[in-house]
Structure formats: structure tokens, C-alpha cells
Amino acid sequence: MLIGYGRVSTTDQNPVHQIDALVRAGVAADDIHIDKASGAKASRPKLDLVLKIARKGDTIVITRLDRLGRSVLNLIQLGAQLQERGIGLKVTEQGIDTATTEGRAMFGMLSVLAELQRELIVANTKDGLAAARARGRKGGRRAKLTAQQIEQAQRLYDEGQHTAQQIADILGVKRGTLYGHLDKKSVGGRPRAAKPSASTT
């Protein structure tokens, strides 16, 4: 059985050219399912339906690969899923048919490219972190307090003359940021600070 699938990006686009191409490929009009979805994260209920009703020995027919997958990786995952289930995939405009050796080879090439893309992303991330470390920076958020400010904050906190909020205000940070830099053993272990007198402010 041939099952046709198509997708248009917005409700304003007309899928008739995809439908015509699928019919010419031998798909019955009643077996053609069209999604109207834009963006990689948009839901595709018709594709979900196609994947649900397809059985071993069936072939899903599309006009172009970008009509099926949200990304190369997603496309490869769908291709592997269909292959495991014994379902074929035919792409009319790109001459891909997984029922043939050439078609399976094309999917193999796409798989290699997807893996290469992933490895390049990982490598670039590592290079970026290494370059940052070489310049004295570490990955993640930069500390909002300097070592001198942390020492001052701890001293003011231990003296008990200022509240945590007052110390945070002095240093120009949020109270949560202040607590994140204080010695954890000292937090909550000091007497409650009284409001500072006018002479101490």
C-alpha cells in the first residue's frame, strides 16, 4: 500500500502541487495526508497518523525530504524507524526509494552527514571552552563577586551588624547571589543582625 504525506508551512500555502505529484506516483487520493505546520517545533498530527497506520510492506511517499523531517537528524531517525518496521520510503523529486540499494545508500550518506554535524558541534564547543580557559575564563556563568568582595561580604556577615539584604545592597547584588558566595557553614549560625545606626551607614 502507498501512503502519501505532504506538508505546507502555513495555512495560506496550497498543497495541491504536492497532492498532484503524489497521485502521479500512484498514491490514491484518499491515502494522502497533508499537514499545515510551520517551524521545527510545530505539531504534525497527519504525520503521526501516517506513522501509526503504516504497516510492514507499505511505502510512504513524499515529494521532498524536507517535507518529512524537522532536521537531518530527525529525518535519519524516522528513516531508521521505518526500516526497522519494514516500511519503505519514496521521495519523488529526489529519486530516493529505500526499496532499492541506491535509496538505502542515500539514507546511509545522510546518516553519516548527520553524525559528522554532531561531532563538529561537539568539537567546536570543546575548542571554545579551551580558548576561554587559555584566557583565564571557565565555562558557565561568570561570578558576580570578586574575591575581594566575597571576603568583604563574609566579614560583614560574620560581624552581624548588617542584614544579608543590606550587605547585598552594599555590594550591588541580589541576596541569593550573596548567599551563594558565603561560607555555607556560617549561614544561619550568627545572631540576627540589628538595623545599623545612622553612624554605621
> Which residues have a catalytic role annotated?
9
Backbone dihedral region for residue 118 (phi beyond 0: left; psi -120 to 50: alpha; all else: beta): alpha
Q: Look-up: residue for cell 545606626? A: 197
Cβ-proximal residues to 32 (8 Å cutoff; 6+ apart), any chain: 4, 5, 6, 19, 22, 23
Distance CA 4, CA 78 (A): 15
